[in-house]
Chains A and B, each alone.
Chain A
Amino acid sequence: MTTVELTKKDTFLAALSPLQFNEDSYFEGLRNNAKNELAELDFPTSKTEYWKYTRLGKIVNNTYTLGQPDKIDITNFLIPNLEAHVLVVINGYYSPELSNFTEIDSVTLTSLSAAKKRDFEGLKKHFNQFTQDKKEIFLALNNAFHTDGIYLEVAKSNSVEKPYHIINISTGNNTLSQSRNLFIGNVGSKVKIIESFVNVGGEKNFNNHVSEFFVAENTHLEYNKIQDKKENNFSIATEQVYQEANSNFTINTATFNGALVRNNLNIEVDASNCETNLNGLYLGKNKDHIDNHTVVDHKKPHCNSNEVYRGVLDDESTGVFNGKVFVRQDAQITNAFQQNNNILLSDNATANSKPELEIYADDVKCSHGSTTGQIDEEAIFYLQSRGISKKGALKLMINAFAKDALERISIETLHEYIDAKIEEELS
């Protein structure tokens, strides 16, 4: 008698198998490629360098039900005073009823699934271009089984004033969802996007999300990502970004909550005179585990990248930062700056920080640094001696530390919202 033992991956794939997509052969082909890739891949263990500090047991040992479209009240997830087009994705499905936006001639905006049924030029050109064959199981899972998300394309030479706010929601318990976005900024365009990852009650939901960004010549694209899943929920989010000449890409990632959060940010700077800003703030509490892995790949000369990630870790939380900057042989006159700072508020909090530079060019200015420490007691006493309570002094200092990380958010009402949120979370 032989017994066939199912691996974790098999169980996962079995849970996903009922999904039906009804797409044309082109998109079906892409999914099949990813399924073939999946056959060769397995879930990483702590022996896998890229996942060394993040154990995935919580995610891969859980039994899931597939996410379904749902209808909920989104009022609490709106950002006060923010004038934005609102797009809602629930459990990996676009919700036209809950979305609220005005059509603009210069912007093609639909659900990704609807886009696949139309013949948008940008879609076939860019979709899946930056995510194939990366040998990453979560990316491959999303390539093969993503349900829906947002397709947003800005026509060339258009600047869109009003930002787009995507609310990406998980509902229920043990819900597995795989949302997917594609953002295209054509030559000389400008657009700002906010995406909030939230949940409604419920535990052990897992969202495996992927966004692709194509940032064409002279384009300015700002993406602000707010991760705020309460309770015991899991998220893996991957952004694949491709920058052309003279473009400017900024991503701000604020992680306020989440039992297990992993962000994979990969930016390919494949032309000259680009600017790249990647900033992040993570506030860990309880047993939160928040992991940011970033890669900036400078392939061509005369580019700048600035990276600041800051963490405030309390209780038994863990923060992980791994930032890699490549400066390829052709990428002369690159300025790359990278920094990670952590404050530990408790003896049981942990920060793992690994800044890395790989430089193959000789005329570059690069720096990286990492600090992990506690709040300066002398500074606390100084503030106390002026009449500020110990708690107030801590708050002043941590707020200053945390707010500094997300200085580059250019949408004022969002900035205010984030600052208020920081104060709320740290109080």
Chain B
Amino acid sequence: MNPIDLLIATLQLRLGEYLVSVYGSENWVFVVRDVLTVLTISTFCLLIVIFLIWLERKVIARMQDRLGPNRVGGRYGLLQTVADVLKLLTKESLTPAGADKWAYNLAPLLIVMTALLMWAVIPFGPGAMGADLNIGVFYILAVSSVSVVCLLLAGWGSNNKYALLGAFRSVAQLVSYEVPMVLSLLIPIILAGSMATEAIIGAQYIPFLFVIPLSAVIFFISALAETGRTPFDLLEAESEIVAGFHVEYGGMKFGMFFLAEFIGTLLMSALFVTIYWGGYTLPLVNLVLGVFGLPPIDLASLAWGRTLSLPIFFGKVFVIYFVFIWIRATLPRVRIDQMLNLNWKFLVPLSLVLILVVAIVDKALPANTNVWAYSGIMLLANILIAVGAIELLRRRGRQERAAAEAAHDDELADISAEALPAAHH
């Protein structure tokens, strides 16, 4: 094994091909490759969280006109999170007296496992992914719903009333928002004709963000709720239920919940980029090149294409991640009834209508329709549905306000009718 070749193979993310070329195609080579891939993906996830926490604190601080971390590790406070991790490591690891020990200790492990496992089907570059499952998107949804079980385990196992309330809320929220998320993900699958993530990227001649924006918006809102981020962070509403399901956790067990939340948010950004923004490819650049009659950039055929695809992919992922942080700094928390109403009375019917319309438009257009005409008509259908839905909401809101004002006026009239005779005396 030539160390230089090995290094180049690693840098080009071609380790699997390299191992096979060195050892022939025996099956254990694949086992070695798989173990190395698992270690790489998982270690990457654990380490990137240190950066993500710093990023979130710094960005939120700047948005709120504060400085944020600026002491530990230079003037940008880059090592602040490292110090926090070390502190968490030296904390006493407690198990509350009344807790169900199995459930209490299993939940933090299981929640990080589910957050990591979802990364298996995210493509980082052409062919550079854990497993190109033919049911990729479905797999992510299946694994992500295990986290509901973890939250319930944590809340129930803690034997704390706040934790249990938090767990109930989280389960109601995660379970509810899974419906619009699943339904909105059906739409890119209809367009791409496959559930495999790589095939969905391949189908995005024009990024799906510009073909089916409404589906992307519904997915993004449900992703916010699924990861329990503001404005849907009522599973850990500090002023009501202290910290929610993880109130009894301390030390690294608490750290694991924190970790899972950040990995989950990054995963949702990565999934959004993969499904709606062309993943590691450059569809928009290719479109511009196409206008000038130049050949598109095909990362798979370039020697360093896989390595190049990493900065492209993560650049996009961090743009979406920044929007997540931005929303956290902008919006207040919603109430539980508002959260459930938004889901069941707005997002679910909307996504059902969207699926019907997209499916029928897809069938109504002849199979040889130009991709631009197809995308244009799809975009138009999306915009029409969105405008219609918002108009319906506005009318409904206006009616409710009018009813409330009428009730208020009646009340005032009653009060003055009672008060006036008294004033004469």
Co-complex (A, B): no
Residues of B within 8 A of A (CB): none
Residues of A within 8 A of B (CB): none
